Structure 1
Amino acid sequence: MTTNADVAPDLAVKVRAFAERCHPLGVLLLLAVAVRLPLAFWPNINHPDEIFQYLEPAWRLLGHDGIVTWEWRDGIRSWFLPTLFAGPVVLGDRLAPGGAGAFIVPRAAVGLASLSIVVSAWFFGARVSRMHAIVAALVAAIWFEIVYFAPHTLSEPLTTALIAPAALLLTGDLSWKRLAVGGALLALAFVWRFQYAPAMAVFALGACWRQWRNAIPLVSGGLLVLALAAMVDVAYGVAPFEWLILNIEQNLLHDRASEFGVAPAMAYLYELLIIWSGATLLLLCALRRGWRHAPLLIVAAVVNIAFHSAIQHKEYRFIFLSVVLLIIAAALGSADWGQMLRARPAWRRWALPIIAGGWVLLSLGLADTTKLMQDNWMRGTGAARLAADLRADPELCGLALYVTSYHLLPGSERLARGEPLYAFHPEDPLATGRLPVLVKKNEQAFNRIIAPPSSASELPADFSQRSCASMGDDGIACIFARSGACDATSATPFEINDVLVRLNY
C-alpha cells in the first residue's frame, strides 16, 4: 500500500528531474507565450495605425475593399509590412471567417515575434552569469509595457524585435557572420521604421569603432536587405524607397504629423515618470549598475528618446525601443544585487527568487496603477463590441458613421462585414452645417448608424437606439437601426473613402 509519505519524495524527485531537463530559457519562453497570446484575443487598439496602416492595407492586397487613409493616398508608406501581414490575415480569415480571425492571427504572430527580445535578453545576461541571464530574460518576458505592446500590429514592436537581436550580434565577440546578420537585421528594421535609425547607428558605430573593416560585412548584409526592399517597391509599381522620400517630405519637412497633436520636448520623460511612478528611482539605480554590462543599450535608448523628443508630434509607442533597451539594462543591473545576496550564505538560495519575484511584483503593480495604462488596456474595446454586434446582425446591409471618428474602429470588414460604409463628418466640406438633413436624405443607402446618443434627435425618425459602448476620449457611441433593406443603387457622395479624401485624412 502506497502512503502519502512515499508519494511526496517521489513527486519531489520527479519535479527536480523535470527542472533539470528543462532549460530555463525554454521555461521563460513558455511563460512569455502564456502572457502574450491571450492578449491577441483582447480587442484593444493602441493606435489606429495598427489597423489602417497595416491590417487594412493587407486586407486590400487580398482583393477586398478597405479604408484608405491619406498616408496610402500620398504614397508615404512601404508595402513591405502589409505584404508580410497578408499571410496571417488570410490564414486568420480562413480559420475564423468574418473578420475576427483576420485580426487575431496577425496579433498572435507579432506577439510571437517579440520572443526575440526575451532570447536576446537571455544572451546579454549570459555574458555575465547564469543569474543575469535568467533575470534579464524573465523581465523581458513579463514586463508590463513589453507585454502590452507585444501583440499590437505596429512597426515599433516589430522593429524592436529585430533591433534587440541585432544589438546582441553587434556587441561582444564579433565575427563576419555576426556582423553580416546584424547589418541585415538593422537594415530590415530601418525599412520597417526608419525613425529608429539614430538608435541603430549606435550599434553599427559601436561594432566598427575600433575596427573599421567590420563595416564591410555589416554594410554587405544591410545592402542585401535593402535590395530586397527595393524589389518589393518595384513589384508594387513605385520607385525604390520613393515612400521614404515622401514620408520625410511630409512629416519632417512639412510637419504633417503635427496636425495630429504636438507635445513639449520633455513629454517622453514626463510620461515615463508617470508610468513607472514610484519605481523610477529604483529603475535608475538598476540602470546605473546595468551600464557596466550593456552601455550601448542605454546609449541607444537615450539617443532614441532625444531624437523623438525633437519631433513635435509625440506618441509613447515611438520610444518603445528605448523602454525595452532600458528595462533589459536595468534587469542586468538588478542581477548584480542578486549576486551580492548570493555571496551571503544565509541568503544564497533566496537571492534569485527575491530579485525575480521583485520584478514580477513590480510589473504587476505598475501594469494598471495609472489612468494612462488603464486607458491603454481599454482603448478600442468599446468599438470592438459594437463591431461584434454588427457582424452578428443578419439584417445589416449598409452602415453610416454619424459624427463618429473611424480611428478606433477595427477596419471596414470587421465593422461593416463588407457592406457599404458611409461617413457623415462635421468637417466634411459637403456636409458642414447640414448633417441632419443629409443623413435623412441618404438613409436608403444604409440601415444601421453608429452615432453618439446625444445625436439621436438629428437622425431619421425610423432609426432606434440599440447597444452602446465607450469610445474612450470620444465619448459614447451607439448603434441605431431601422427595419428594411438598403437601396444598393442609391448614389451618395458620402462613401467613407470619398469623405476621407475631402477631409485629407
Structure 2
Amino acid sequence: MPPAPPPPETPSFEPYLARGLLLVALALGAILRVRLALTDDGLYWPDEIYQSLEPAHRLVFGYGLVAWEFIDGARNWALPGLVAGLMEVARALGLNTPGGYLGLVKGCFAVLGTATAWGSYRLARTYGAVPLAAAAGACLLALGSVPLYFAPRAMSENASALPVVLGLSIALAPGASRRALGVGASLLGLAVMLRLQTGIFCVGLLAILAARRQWKEARFALGVLAGWAVLFGLLDRLTWGEWFHSARVYLEFNVIRQGGSGWGTAPPSYYTRVLLKSMMGVSLVATGLSLLALRRAWSLAALVVAFYVLHAAQPHKELRFLIPMFPLFAALAGVGLDVVLRDWSTERVRALMALSVAAVGLGSAGLASQLTFGELGQYESTRPQVSAYDDSGPINRLLEVAGQREDMCGLKIEAPAHLAWTGGYSYFHRRVPLYWYQGPDRGSGLFNYVITLPQFRFGGEEVAQDNGFVLLRLSRPGCTPDPAYSWRLP
C-alpha cells in the first residue's frame, strides 16, 4: 500500500494579522491626526506659524508678518515654498478662507505623519524584521501621543521625517540597485533642504555604506548628496543672494553664538525626562526593544544615538527637535521585537507579543488628549499644567472672523498675547494693520476692531466671542492711515 499522504499544514494567520495590525494602526492614526488638524487652532511654538505658514502666506497672497529669520536669511525657502504650493492648491479648489487653506495644509501634514509611520514599518523590514514585528513597532509611532500631537503642525521637523525614514529604508535595503540608492540619497538630500539638522542622517548613510565596505555605493551616494547640496546653495543664491547663506547664518546664530539659549536652556537629561513624562509606556518599550536590536541593527541604533546625543548636547532644547528621529526609533523597536519573536514558534504567543506592543501605542493614543505643556517640556516654569491643545486657538479663530468683516481697516489684539504666539495674517487674512497689545491705544484711530477680554468690551459693539476672548467693533467710522506700520514681527 502506498504511504498515507502527510496531513495538510495549518495555514498561518500571521501575515494577515501583520497586515491588519498595520492597516488599523495607520487608519486610526490618520483619523486622530486629521481630526486634530481640523479642530486645534492653537500653537505649540511660534515656528509653526512664522517659519512656514506666514512666509507661505506672503508668497501666495502678498502680505504677512516677517520674523527675523526671514529678514537676516537664517532659513531657506524650501519649507515655506512647499506650504505655499499647498496654499495655491487650496486656492485653486476655492478654499480661500483661513479655515480652508489652513485646513488643507494641516491635513496634509497629518497625512504625512501617518505615512511616516508606514516608513518606520518599511525601515524595520529593511533590517530584516518580519512583517508582524515591523507592524507592531510602527504602531508605537502611529499611535504614540507625542507623534500624534505634533503631526498636523507645519514644522520643518515634521516635513523632514518622512523623507528621512523612506530614504534610509530604500538606500540601505540589501542589494539595493543604483537607482534605489539614488532615490534614497535624494530623499535624504530633500530632508536637509527642509531641516538642516537631518544632515546627520546623510553622514550616517555614507558611514554605514563605508562600514559595509560598499565603496562604490558610498561614492555614488556622496555624488547624489553633493548634487542636493548644490541645490541647497542655489536656492539660497536665488532667494538670499549668496550661496548657502541660510545655512551659514543659522549655524552662526545657533552653534557659534548659541542664540537659541535666549529661549531657554536645559540639561542633557531633558529629552529622557520629557519623553518619560509625555509617553512613558512607548518610550520604555521602544528603548527595551531597541537594546535587543543592537546586534542586528547596530547601524540604525548608531544613527538614533548620534541624533539624540548631538541634540542633547545643545543648550536650547525642545521636544519637537527629536521628531525626525522618532520613525527610526520605532523601526529599531520593530527589529528588537523580531529578535524576541524568533525564539517562539507558537503563532499565538507571537501574536500576543506583537499585540501587546501595539496595545502600548494604543494606550498612549488614549492619553494624548490629556497632554499638558509641562509633559511636553514646554513652558515648564510658567504654565506646566495648561493643556497643550488649542493654546491661542480662541484668538486665532477671532482673527479669522475679524478678517471677514467688510468694514475692517485695522485690528489690535488687546489681550496680553505677543503676536508671535498668534496666527498672524495666516489666520487674519486681511491686508490691514494688525497691532499687538503694546501697540497704539484706542484713541489713535489706527484701528476699528479689537480682540480683548470681556471686562474691556466697552466702547463698541461685540461681534463675536470665543472662550473668554471678545471681538469688539469700536464706535468710530474708518481708520487713520498708518504710514509707519511695520510688517516685521515684534
The normalised TM-score by structure 2 is: 0.82
Query: Kindly tell me: are residues 78 and 334 of structure 1, through their superposed partners in 2, closer, same or farther at Cα, counting changes over 3 Å?
Result: same
Instruction: Indicate if the aligned counterparts of 1:184 and 1:223 stay in contact, CA closer than 8 A.
Output: no
Q: Please, which of 178, 196, 208 is the counterpart of residue 176 of structure 1? A: 178
Aligned equivalent of 1:132: 133
Superposition map of 1:392-411 within 5 A? 392-402=404-414, 403-411=416-424
What code does the residue aligned with 2:428 have? L
Aligned equivalent of 1:161: 162
What is the CA-CA distance between 1:256 and the residue it aligns to? 2.2
Aligned equivalent of 1:213: 216
Q: Please, which of 74, 77, 80 is the counterpart of residue 79 of structure 1? A: 77
What code does the residue aligned with 2:434 have? L
Tell me if 1:491 matches 2:474: no
Q: What count of residue pairs does the alignment treat as equivalent?
A: 458
What secondary structure sits across from 2:420 in the alignment?
coil
Q: Using the alignment, how far apart are the partners of 2:272 and 2:83 within structure 1? A: 33
Aligned equivalent of 1:33: 30
What is the CA-CA distance between 1:464 and the residue it aligns to? 6.5
What secondary structure sits across from 1:62 in the alignment?
helix
What secondary structure sits across from 1:124 in the alignment?
helix
What secondary structure sits across from 1:479 in the alignment?
strand
Tell me if 1:422 matches 2:424: no
What is the CA-CA distance between 1:68 and the residue it aligns to? 0.6
**Deviation string, structure 1 residues 313-371 (Cα, Å, up to 9, x no partner):** 2111111123332233224323544555x534764664544443343234424663655
Q: Using the alignment, how far apart are the partners of 1:338 and 1:468 within structure 2? A: 56
Q: Using the alignment, how far apart are the partners of 1:347 and 1:306 within structure 2? A: 36
What code does the residue aligned with 2:171 have? L
Query: Kindly tell me: are residues 477 and 408 of structure 1, through their superposed partners in 2, closer, same or farther at Cα, counting changes over 3 Å?
Result: farther
What secondary structure sits across from 1:450 in the alignment?
strand
Query: Kindly tell me: are residues 331 and 496 of structure 1, through their superposed partners in 2, closer, same or farther at Cα, counting changes over 3 Å?
Result: farther
Give percent identity, aligned residues only. 22
Instruction: Indicate if the aligned counterparts of 1:188 and 1:226 stay in contact, CA closer than 8 A.
Output: no
What is the CA-CA distance between 1:274 and the residue it aligns to? 1.4
Structure 1 or 2: more helix by fraction: 1
Unaligned runs of 5+ in 2: 1-12, 377-385
Q: Using the alignment, how far apart are the partners of 2:244 and 2:347 within structure 1? A: 60
Q: Please, which of 270, 274, 284 is the counterpart of residue 273 of structure 2? A: 270
**Deviation string, structure 1 residues 427-478 (Cα, Å, up to 9, x no partner):** xxxxxxxx7xx41441x22112234567x4xx9x6257776657xxxxx754
Tell me if 1:387 matches 2:403: no
What is the CA-CA distance between 1:139 and the residue it aligns to? 3.2
Tell me if 1:306 matches 2:309: yes
Instruction: Indicate if the aligned counterparts of 2:270 and 2:312 stay in contact, CA closer than 8 A.
Output: yes
Q: Using the alignment, how far apart are the partners of 1:279 and 1:28 within structure 2? A: 14
Query: Kindly tell me: are residues 59 and 161 of structure 1, through their superposed partners in 2, closer, same or farther at Cα, counting changes over 3 Å?
Result: same
Q: Using the alignment, how far apart are the partners of 2:165 and 2:330 within structure 1? A: 12
**Deviation string, structure 1 residues 255-292 (Cα, Å, up to 9, x no partner):** 22222222223222221121133664444322222334
Query: Kindly tell me: are residues 176 and 68 of structure 1, through their superposed partners in 2, closer, same or farther at Cα, counting changes over 3 Å?
Result: same
Instruction: Indicate if the aligned counterparts of 2:462 and 2:472 stay in contact, CA closer than 8 A.
Output: yes
Moved more, 229-238 or 269-278: 229-238
Superposition map of 1:17-416 within 5 A? 29-42=26-39, 43-94=41-92, 95-126=94-125, 127-173=128-174, 174-209=176-211, 210-236=213-239, 238-277=241-280, 280-338=283-341, 343-344=345-346, 347=349, 350-365=352-367, 368=370, 372=375, 375-402=387-414, 403-415=416-428
Moved more, 319-328 or 23-32: 23-32
Query: Kindly tell me: are residues 143 and 328 of structure 1, through their superposed partners in 2, closer, same or farther at Cα, counting changes over 3 Å?
Result: farther
Instruction: Indicate if the aligned counterparts of 1:401 and 1:450 stay in contact, CA closer than 8 A.
Output: yes
Q: Using the alignment, how far apart are the partners of 2:210 and 2:84 within structure 1? A: 37
Query: Kindly tell me: are residues 351 and 255 of structure 1, through their superposed partners in 2, closer, same or farther at Cα, counting changes over 3 Å?
Result: closer
What code does the residue aligned with 2:85 have? G
What secondary structure sits across from 2:436 in the alignment?
strand
Instruction: Indicate if the aligned counterparts of 1:198 and 1:307 stay in contact, CA closer than 8 A.
Output: no
What secondary structure sits across from 2:110 in the alignment?
helix
What code does the residue aligned with 2:487 have? N
What is the CA-CA distance between 1:207 and the residue it aligns to? 1.7
The normalised TM-score by structure 1 is: 0.80
Q: Using the alignment, how far apart are the partners of 2:177 and 2:475 within structure 1? A: 70
Instruction: Indicate if the aligned counterparts of 1:162 and 1:185 stay in contact, CA closer than 8 A.
Output: yes
Q: Using the alignment, how far apart are the partners of 2:144 and 2:325 within structure 1? A: 14
Query: Kindly tell me: are residues 199 and 240 of structure 1, through their superposed partners in 2, closer, same or farther at Cα, counting changes over 3 Å?
Result: same
Aligned equivalent of 1:430: none
What secondary structure sits across from 2:85 in the alignment?
helix
Q: Using the alignment, how far apart are the partners of 2:351 and 2:319 within structure 1? A: 39
Query: Kindly tell me: are residues 182 and 106 of structure 1, through their superposed partners in 2, closer, same or farther at Cα, counting changes over 3 Å?
Result: same
Q: Using the alignment, how far apart are the partners of 1:483 and 1:333 within structure 2? A: 67
Aligned equivalent of 1:428: none
What secondary structure sits across from 1:400 in the alignment?
strand
What code does the residue aligned with 1:246 have? V
Q: Using the alignment, how far apart are the partners of 1:205 and 1:497 within structure 2? A: 45
Instruction: Indicate if the aligned counterparts of 2:279 and 2:364 stay in contact, CA closer than 8 A.
Output: no
Instruction: Indicate if the aligned counterparts of 1:260 and 1:313 stay in contact, CA closer than 8 A.
Output: yes
Instruction: Indicate if the aligned counterparts of 1:448 and 1:482 stay in contact, CA closer than 8 A.
Output: yes
Instruction: Indicate if the aligned counterparts of 1:170 and 1:204 stay in contact, CA closer than 8 A.
Output: no
Aligned equivalent of 1:7: none
**Deviation string, structure 1 residues 145-191 (Cα, Å, up to 9, x no partner):** 22222221110011111111122133341443233222222222222
Q: Using the alignment, how far apart are the partners of 1:130 and 1:309 within structure 2? A: 33
Query: Kindly tell me: are residues 357 and 327 of structure 1, through their superposed partners in 2, closer, same or farther at Cα, counting changes over 3 Å?
Result: same
Unaligned runs of 5+ in 1: 1-15, 426-434, 471-475
Instruction: Indicate if the aligned counterparts of 2:143 and 2:362 stay in contact, CA closer than 8 A.
Output: yes
Note the aligned Cα RMSD (angstroms).
3.1
